[in-house]
């Protein structure tokens, strides 16, 4: 196991890990819960998971692995899976597919939001600080990876 060899990369990596744990993972899981709720399944709501609160979606082991593996050059981590009862969903298998797709779609949206400032700065010839470029680039990459895209 090789940890980050360039100390200047430590802060951007830790910032990205924090954003993933506090924003990307909760938004991903909330999206599954919201889609399920809109299709008739209240399971996530009853269990307090129809929220953007990161604490409700935090998995200690998944968070620990994300920090450890991000420091070794790749990031593997996870949040608590959103509970869904397919029997409660309208639309049968199509409803299940919509719930499943909601999480990765949210990551695609977050990756796009992270990419916009990078593209805008490049098009306008604006110089962004290196740490901003690194963090935004890693957010694009990790959101695409979390979303399975």
Asked if 70 contacts 17 with a C-beta cutoff of 8 angstroms, the reply is: yes
Catalytic residue list: 29
For 75-106, letters b (16+ CB in 10 Å) and e give bebbbbebebeeeebeeeeebbebbeebbbbb
Please state, in angstroms and rounded to a whole number, the distance separating the CA atoms of residues 75 and 94. Answer: 31
Q: Assess contact for 128 and 117: CB atoms under 8 A.
A: yes
* Interaxial angle between packed helices 10-19 and 130-146, expressed in degrees from 0 to 180 and rounded to the nearest 10: 40
C-alpha distances (whole Å) from 136 to each of 1, 81, 99, 126 are 26, 26, 27, 15
């Amino acid at each position: 196991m090789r940890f980050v060899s360039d100390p200047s990369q430590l802060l951007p990596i830790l910032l990205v890990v924090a954003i993933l744990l506090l924003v990307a993972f909760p938004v991903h899981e909330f999206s599954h819960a919201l889609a399920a709720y809109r299709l008739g399944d209240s399971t996530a709501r009853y269990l307090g998971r129809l929220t953007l609160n990161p604490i409700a979606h935090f998995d200690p082991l998944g968070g620990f692995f994300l920090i450890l593996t991000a420091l070794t050059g790749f990031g593997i981590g996870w949040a608590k899976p959103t509970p869904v009862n397919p029997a409660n969903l309208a639309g049968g298998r199509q409803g299940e597919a919509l719930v499943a797709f909601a999480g990765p779609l949210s990551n695609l949206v977050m990756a796009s939001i992270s990419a916009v400032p990078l593209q805008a700065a490049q098009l306008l010839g604006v110089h962004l600080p290196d740490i901003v470029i690194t963090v935004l680039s890693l957010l694009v990459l990790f959101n695409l990876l979390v979303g399975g895209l």
